[in-house]
Structure 1
Amino acid sequence: MEDKSVSKEFDKLRSKWKLERYMRNAVPRSIQVTISVSFTIVALVCMLAMGVALYNSFSVRSEKMLTDSAELTLDQTVLALEDYLRSMRRMSDAIYYNVIKDQDISRESPIEQMNLLYEAHKDYLISLALYTEDGQLVCASPVAVEKPEVDVTTQDWFKTALARPENLHFSLPHVQNIFVDDPTFRYYWVTSLSRAVELGGRGVPEQGVLLVDMNYAVIKQMLEGVNDNPSEQYVYLCDNSGAIIYHPMLMQIEAGLYRENNSVAASYDDGSHKEEFMREKRIVTVKTMSYTGWKLVSVIPTSNSYLGMKDIRYFVMMILSITLLAMLILNRMVARRVTRPITKLNDSIREIEMGKVNPSVYIGGPSEIEHLGKTLRRSYDQIDQLMKDMVASQEEKRKSELDALQSQINPHFLYNTLDSIVWMIEGAKYDEAVFMITQLASLFRVSLSSGKTIIPIEDEIRHASNYMNIQKVRFKDAFTIDFDIDEEIKNYCTVKLIVQPILENAVYYGVKDMEDGEIRVKGFKGEDGDIYITVSDNGFGMSSEQLEFLLTDDTRVRKKGSGVGLINVQRRIQLRFGQEYGLKIESEPDEGCVVTIHLPAIEYTEENRKALESGKERGDEE
């Protein structure tokens, strides 16, 4: 076999179109892209880290601002509520210490003083009432008629006041249901302030209960003022056990449409707390009111706690986007400036890879790139000269080998053919003799081909046909031959004298001794675009052991025939077209044999013929 490096060089020259297609489709990772991507990734990671840190910092500050604002709102609201409750307590003290304690209830009624106090505070009060220990109404302001079925001794505010006489007691909001509804006194929502008092009479002090019904609307109005947008933040009021006194969505809660975590919030200490309720994270701020123990609770959903961060978020995103765009442009400019000399040198190497004659090698840029360019130029010149010398030597070797192969045509075939012609002439078979001479002349004309080794497939098939015509006469039509060659492949290149040796083997080792021998020659272009010529016979075939060495061991070439064995045909095809082309043999004993010739689809032109014969790049390929 030939030297592998030389074969590869010829394979590359003869497969230029495949290399060009590869170069068009290849997408190498350039240094410029690597540098640009690397710097961009580093810059992006740094900016993202900085953006996340800034955003987290702003988020913490925003959350702190919201909680501070909520605490401030609660402080102001608690002060207002405590001021209101304090005024009610002072009024209760005034009634008790200045009116009730100084009078003998059995002889005179404190109704006038209570009416005066009521009139002074009627915007905040619904009613004032004084009861004895056994639940008897002493007096009430404004004047009202007690419902006959009402028993105040069973109501919580009454029992609590007597049970703990030392304290003032505030009830949950409820509808006043003690007095008869008339045009001057309607039902109202109230919060009751009750306390135990001493009633003077007959010199024996008795216990009683003073009831101050505060207008719940006052408390509601105060809290509604801080609940302008309950969907984002709201405030509600509950007692120390969690019972709701006021809630902006109280109707929804009572209807079961909304739930509140009030029982848990009542257990919180004063300050801000984070909790998760109904799969929603929220910030809960609690403030306890003096006198009552009520808790004012502010609720801020976490999803809304960052609403104030929208502008900052957009600002940070805009800054990051602008910075990233600037970094991309800067990285690209720097990478292009750094890699431009390398890219130019790479283009020079690509030209060399594609086999361009006398490629322009870039020499410039930094000293390292300039040194590489000069070294590449010198190396290319040396390799080019060595290749020229090697190609010339190899071409001479191929021509000598081809001449030697062609000279192996068995003179015995020529002798037998001439002897047959003499016999025909002596037998006055002049037409047959003329036919034999014509076929023999055509046979040798194609064999010589003016010294050409590359001929059109049409000529090669004509040569094979002439040979088979002679053989049919010699063997007295002992077999049939059929040629089926597609017109489109007849003007493609082939090495000459590759079909005739295969036909000769088919005659001598396949169908010569058969009564109904058949040989078929078929030529066509395959789906892969290459040329295929098959020679099949229905002869005796051969075993797999014989097939194994038929194209690899030239010591097994058979003695009969022209002497130009299949291994020589295989070698001649591969010398011209490359290792991927050549012969493929399929056979089984008593099943005949099929020999397939595989050739590249190279259109036959004078330029391509000279390129193939000289071993240089051909100018017109498909």
Structure 2
Amino acid sequence: MKNLPRTFEGLKKTYQKRSMQFILSLSFTFVAIVIIFGIGIGFSRQYKEAANQLTEKNNTNTLNQMNLNLNNYLHNMMSLSNTFYYGIIKNTDFGKDDLRMVTDSMRLLYDSQESSLVSMSVFDGEGKVVAGQPFSKLKKRALPNEEEWFKKASSQIENVHFSTPHVEKIFINPDNVYHWVVSLSRSVELTVDGNTQPGVILVNMNFSGIEQICKNVDFGESGYVYIVDDKGEIIYHPRQQLIYGNIIEENAKEAAQYSDGTHMETFQGEERQITIKTVGYTGWKIVGVSPVSDFASIYTKNTYIIWLVVIVGMILLFFINLFVSSRVSTPIKKLEKSVQEIENMRLDTRISISGSYEVRHLGKTLQSMVDNMKRLMDDIVKEQEGKRISEMDALQSQINPHFLYNTLDSVVWMIENERYEGAIVMITALAKLFRISLSKGKNIITIGGELQHVENYLIIQNVRYKNKFVYHINVKEELLLCGTIKLIIQPIVENAIYHGMEYMDGEGVIDINVYEKEDGLYIDVEDNGPGMQEEMVEEINQGTLRSTREKGSGIGIANVRERIHLYVGQEYGLTVFSEPDEGTLVQVHLPKLTLEEFEERAGNRYEK
């Protein structure tokens, strides 16, 4: 708290040092943000309350419609039982009348409701079947008078009773099909030989009828509806089999105690909105379950939209304020930024020329100064590059005196020993080697010329080393006329001989392969020599290891790579692959161009 005044004073001084654009933008933006933020909070709260009310209203309407459909279904079943009782049983004396007429009447009634009925039967007071359709024969161990529906109908004769869902199992079914049913039972009076006695009618409703009514209910993303009786026994549940198998649980006992309306409960750690509607005739309760997370997620999504609009509004107002306040200061800021780019040696930067006359004039002057500076620097770079190319060309034209002396010494030795053919071969190869090395002063030659130069060099070295190695040159004829830089293969072959073949115990092999790929022309020089350590290969590929020039022409691999970069660009070059005792592969990558195209790419400035 002691440092608060000092902090406030520091912020005040910082604020005063800011530009007019910053002060105006900050002030207007702050006021706008406060207002829009307050509006956003108000809308968010109002929407949350409206979303809860709308969810509650929709759930209630959904259950009312479901209750109406279920009431119609149950009422239809009760009407059918009334027709069965008052239209057939009341008009029949089961001691005197022909039971076939009763059966026919029952068949007609059953056929009219076959889609929703499984069976309809009438029993006497002891549980014996008097008549039934389509089943009338009981199973051997069936005891109807011990069934719950029979007991309820016998003890509460004034009511119609509906059972919980169960498998119909007392009748013999010729098709051996077991039906999932809800039983409607009621007490009736049977006439037998003019006397009345108690009886029970049983109407087994196909449970799929109730299931279809419930399945078609849309109760949100993960909400659902189930039905319980007044004791909390489940009549229908979308996960009924899982509940019967004790895999999941449902709060049915508690739900049966709720009154009609909307309630909030927490079950198994989940907050849920419960909507209750009691079904007439039965005492059943329709229970709608909506996890709070469902409408909370909808609320959250819409809240995100509200806050997105708020944020967009804030940003829009910020930029409007920024635009208004920047009309004067922006040109100077742009000019300042351009000068900073120039300080960082980004000379391609274009100076911003805008604003008032004075600022535009200053921008034009700076642009002129930068253009002159860039032109002078380009001239210096071109001069240095030309100097490097001249050095590379001078280096390429060198022939190591040791190589020339050893070659001529071998020729003299052959003549003295009357091996004239060998001497002729070496002199001819040496002449061709010099002729191609000169190439009329050009540094760009064909692949065919470069390979001929290498072959002459190999002929000379093969004689000197007394056929210690063999070589193979493989190239497609159509590639021979492609352009290349002169003397880029011979230094690689030279290294293969001096550092590979010279130390071979057996016969050495040098393979030269020229081929093309999508990204250009490749020249592979591979030998079966002793190879190199990984560290040396890495240094060569990174350009940190250069030839010692103890032997050969003196043109090292690093120089070959640098000449390729100078002539055709950094995307081309040379790569070495080698492992100890596995030989060495040097791969040269060039653009696939004709001789004329290659010369044009190199700028034709390398001709002497």
Q: Normalised by the size of structure 2, how large is the TM-score?
A: 0.48
Bigger Rg, which one: 1
Return the structure number with greater relative CO, CA threshold 8 A, min gap 6: 1
